Structure 1
Amino acid sequence: MLETTLTEQQLIARFVDALRELPEVEADLDHWESVGKHDDSGYDAQVDLHVAGKSFILLLEVKKTVFPRDVRQVIWQLRAASHVKPAGQEKEPLSLLVAESISPGAKELLRSERVGYYDSGGSLYLPAPGAYLYIDKPPPKALTKSVRTLFTGRRAQVLHALLAQYQNWFGVTELAQQAMVSPATASQVLTELERFDWLEARGQGPSKERHLREPTALLDAWTKQLAATRPQTLRRYYVPGTKADSLAARIGQVFDQHDVEYAVSHEAAAQRYAPFLSNVSQVRVRVLIGANADAAIGDVDARVVNEGANLGVIEAKSPGELLFRERVDNLWLASPIQIYLDLLRGEGRSKEMAEHFRKERIGF
């Protein structure tokens, strides 16, 4: 249930207004009060609906937010309500979910079960005998914002840890250590992911562990959020007389000498894991910026440029942005997950390379 009756009323009113805006549709709110509280019929409002000459009774169940994890319970409630005919009615009623926000995954599950829904973003799905209504609109801003924050900052480090070791089981404390975050942050992220039904759990209490059951779904969701995240801070340099392969080796040698924490990413790293391009013209490297890094860049003889760069330095603010880097041929490479996400933000054939890399190196 929503926290206040006023919010329920607003949602019901929006839903009825949305129906009335459709051609050849009439909708009347027959009952508003939460009938289930009085006679245990289990629905929150009743709407008389007329579509192109056909008449239906809609029994509405009102929720705040609905995620995939909630769908089974919602469907059970709706179907239980639909078995109870309102007094004086002969027609079989149709049950429909009205919510402030319904996640895309939850909508897909509801459609697969032919269960109708409406959310405050304006999405509507109503499969009725002889009538079919379907309007698909972007999720409400509140849901979009909450999902977006899951893929940024320290929360993203928890996702990175789960994807990089998706076959492992984690307790909260262990996961927090792996992701370089507080146990509170790790716990919050796990709770959010459980709502999407992407995790599997075992044990209880302090010994409870989770396992990422749906790595593909999580990585797909992350790729969709990239367009909404801030662009990477990139320093562009030109190092004269050096090709990309030898430049990467030179960077590794000089950065190691200066104790600089770094990880080569983008095409130069992907090429070493899963060759795809005939040649790579630029090396992009994630670097923990500081005095040592500035000195190392100077020793490489890198010159700041606006065009024609063959070295791009992505500023990392904390070691957590270099999670799961791997040592390959005396060179630190970013984790495959990070390389894939970076490629998706690149130019030219980088997105094409990203798909090849995901298939060949990540595998899900």
Structure 2
Amino acid sequence: MDAIPAMALVDRFVQAFEAATGATIADARGSEIPFRRPEGIRRLDLLLHAQTAHRELDLAVELISQAYPRDIRHTVWQLEEYLLSTERRNSTIPFVVAEYLSTGARESLRERGIGYFDSSGSLFLKNGDWLVNIDRPGKPKKSPRVGSIFAGAREQVVHALLHAGDKWLTGLEIAELAQTSSYTVSQTLRELERLEWTVSEGSGRNQRRRLVQPGKLLDAWVESWRTREETKTRWYMFAPSPQSAVPWIYNVFGNTKRDDWTVTGASAANALSPLLTSVDTVDLIVPPGSAAQYAKDIGLKEVAKGANVTLLERAGASTLFRHHANDVHVWFASPFILYLDLLDGRGRNKELASEFRSNILKI
């Protein structure tokens, strides 16, 4: 943290601590306190001396700007190392003083018996007969982002995590599911952990992650999905009747020599979670730049009205986890892509989307 903001924050911490405990903290403060550990000399950010009517205490303080669960691991380790090094460990209270502490970071510190204070005025302390728990909502500073987690290969990581449900996965396993690089996985997980939508256990190559807020992640993906830009064209294919349009179209596409198309939207969702009496249009995901060739090969006619085929030119996350379902021998898009594509405002798709999320996604 910058020197002036840090010391201003320390002043506020001192005032809050004294008001809550009746103790007095000496004006003289020691900073960058060296202490010896087996691996070498380490330094504590700040050491304060508190005086009460009955005892003297040291406050071992580590300063941090914004803290989420992943950010406090090193800070907690540093405080624990200091406690192991000092002969006054029984008279020392470890503290984290931050500009912002997330709910998850506060909970983690409480579980470890470490006091904390942040700029919201929140203060936690449990030591002897002292129990202070002032909990106020904080507001994080806006910080630079890696970029949208719903863009490019990062969106594939999001899709893979939702597909995995509550399973614990290593970074390598996530990369294999998402068909992307470990670097992209790491960057995406960093943002998701900052948002406290994932949790982790272990370290190094054996570190595993698990999605704990699938609903929040899916809702955020919905918001991003609504603003996406893509090439979408509408076509007409002859079918004997509107009622037979869907199986007819499936059959025509199934007889092509290409296997890189995937059914999405209402026709696929209704097959998995029946709600609508009938669906007479089909939405198909095809590779970028291939719609015109498909239309030529199959004899589709591009129309402004009366379309029964929509070709969506996509790659990436939309093509992951396609599957066969209900003895229908065509590729259906992942349930998550089906759900997202139902939120297009057409007909009763919104109603079908709600039913689909409840029955199939169960989120």
Q: Please give the TM-score of this superposition, normalised by the length of structure 2.
A: 0.63
State the distance in 1 between where 2:351 and 2:29 align.
53
Matched residue, 1:289? 288
Matched residue, 2:223? 227
State the distance in 1 between where 2:10 and 2:308 align.
55
- What CA deviation, in whole Å up to 9, does each residue of 1:253-287 have, x standing for no partner? 33340405122222222111112334445432222
Deviation at 1:343, TM superposition (A): 3.0
Matched, 1:327 2:328: no
Whether the aligned pair in 1 keeps the contact of 2:199 and 2:211 (CA below 8 Å) is yes
Matched residue, 2:198? 198
Whether the aligned pair in 1 keeps the contact of 2:244 and 2:280 (CA below 8 Å) is no
Whether the aligned pair in 2 keeps the contact of 1:169 and 1:209 (CA below 8 Å) is no
* Alignment root-mean-square deviation, CA: 4.8
Instruction: Read off the aligned partner of 1:37 and give its amino acid letter.
Output: E
State the distance in 2 between where 1:325 and 1:236 align.
22
Matched, 1:255 2:250: no
Instruction: Read off the aligned partner of 1:162 and give its amino acid letter.
Output: L
State which of 239, 242, 248 in structure 1 corresponds to 2:236.
239
Query: Structure 2: which 5+ residue stretches go unaligned?
Result: 13-24, 36-42, 49-59, 80-94, 125-130
SS at match of 1:290: coil
State the distance in 1 between where 2:183 and 2:357 align.
31
Matched residue, 2:99? 98
Deviation at 1:160, TM superposition (A): 1.7
Instruction: Read off the aligned partner of 1:315 and give its amino acid letter.
Output: E
Q: Structure 2 matches for 1:211-222, cutoff 5 A?
A: 211-214=209-212, 217-222=213-218
Instruction: Read off the aligned partner of 2:331 and give its amino acid letter.
Output: W
Instruction: Read off the aligned partner of 1:288 and give its amino acid letter.
Output: P
Return closer, same or farther for 1:32/1:68 CA change in 2, 3 Å cut-off: farther
Instruction: Read off the aligned partner of 2:283 and give its amino acid letter.
Output: R
Q: Structure 2 matches for 1:1-364, cutoff 5 A?
A: 2=1, 6=2, 9-10=4-5, 35-38=30-33, 62-70=63-71, 97-99=98-100, 106=105, 117-118=118-119, 124=120, 126=122, 140-142=141-143, 145-146=145-146, 149-166=148-165, 168=167, 170-193=169-192, 196=196, 198-201=198-201, 205=205, 208=206, 210-214=208-212, 217-228=213-224, 230-239=227-236, 242=239, 246-256=244-254, 257-280=256-279, 282-291=281-290, 293-298=291-296, 299-305=298-304, 309-318=307-316, 320-328=317-325, 329-344=328-343, 346-347=345-346, 349-364=348-363
Whether the aligned pair in 1 keeps the contact of 2:44 and 2:61 (CA below 8 Å) is no
Whether the aligned pair in 1 keeps the contact of 2:9 and 2:99 (CA below 8 Å) is no
Deviation at 1:132, TM superposition (A): 7.9
Return closer, same or farther for 1:200/1:16 CA change in 2, 3 Å cut-off: closer
State the distance in 1 between where 2:245 and 2:27 align.
70
Instruction: Report how many residues are paired.
Output: 309
State the distance in 2 between where 1:362 and 1:38 align.
53
State the distance in 2 between where 1:354 and 1:125 align.
43
Identity %: 26
State the distance in 2 between where 1:34 and 1:297 align.
76
State the distance in 2 between where 1:95 and 1:168 align.
32
State the distance in 1 between where 2:185 and 2:156 align.
9
State the distance in 1 between where 2:282 and 2:10 align.
53
State the distance in 1 between where 2:281 and 2:181 align.
36
Bigger Rg over Cα: 2
Deviation at 1:43, TM superposition (A): 6.7
